[in-house]
Amino acid sequence: MDYILKPETVPVKEKKYKKLKLPESFTLFKDSHKIYPVRRQAYNYLQSRGITDEIIEKYGIGFCDKGNHIGRIVVPSYDKKGELNYYVARSWDPHTKFKYKNPEAEKDKIIFNEKLIDWNKDIYLVEGVFDGFFLENSIPMLGKHMSEMLFDKVYNNAKGNVIIALDGDAWDNAVKLYHELNGGELYEKIKIVKLPKDQDVCDLGGNINEYFIEIKD
């Protein structure tokens, strides 16, 4: 008689993450007038990207002048309760080996700066945090793909239009996302822009109106 052996189940261990903190030397620009010339380097970089004092203030942008994140702009993210849930640390030196040095955290389980989102207004979906600075009520996906959690949140909570504004080189990803979202309560509320292939929202300073196009179902 043949016996079928039940495969042994191996429990999957969930990775445990430390409580998230901002980098040790993180300093807000408004508190950093004595840190010179590092402050000037960081500030000049932001200005070169079109980022104004108002944006710096609104998003609580800071920088690091020492430690593991030295030479990086830091943009914190806070959940709807105002608790830190992620941050993006970007080098302002173009010769740095790694452009980003982000924390070990489950970025697929957060909405970047959820505390700033008004679900009753039109929402923009963008790739990067710097893109989000230039479009009111935007959500950075932190990449070209939307997490399952963010998809569910947008699908179930968005009351206005949802505008997909991914980088120019992510057009196929944008079209796929359009078709996935364009149904149910969101049917005909999904809009899309097709940016020039080598540009993103940040490059254009948020001036994307001429790039809206219609997708045929």
Angle at 35 between CA 29 and CA 36, to 5 degrees: 110
Is residue 28 one of the residues assigned to a domain? yes
Residues 215, 143, single domain; the answer is yes
Domain-ending residue, one of 50, 72, 106: 106
- Identify the residue whose tokens are 């080098």: 91
> What does pTM read for this prediction?
0.89
In this structure, the answer to whether residues 194 and 126 fall within a common structural domain is yes
- pLDDT per residue, tens digit, the chain (217 aa), is 555 555 555 555 555 667 899 998 999 998 877 777 889 999 999 999 999 999 999 999 999 999 999 999 999 999 999 999 999 999 999 888 899 999 988 899 999 999 999 999 999 999 999 999 999 999 999 999 999 999 999 999 999 999 999 999 999 999 999 999 999 999 999 999 999 999 999 999 999 999 999 987 6
Which residues, including other chains, have CB under 8 Å from residue 13's CB and lie 6 or more apart? none
Structural domain count of the chain: 2
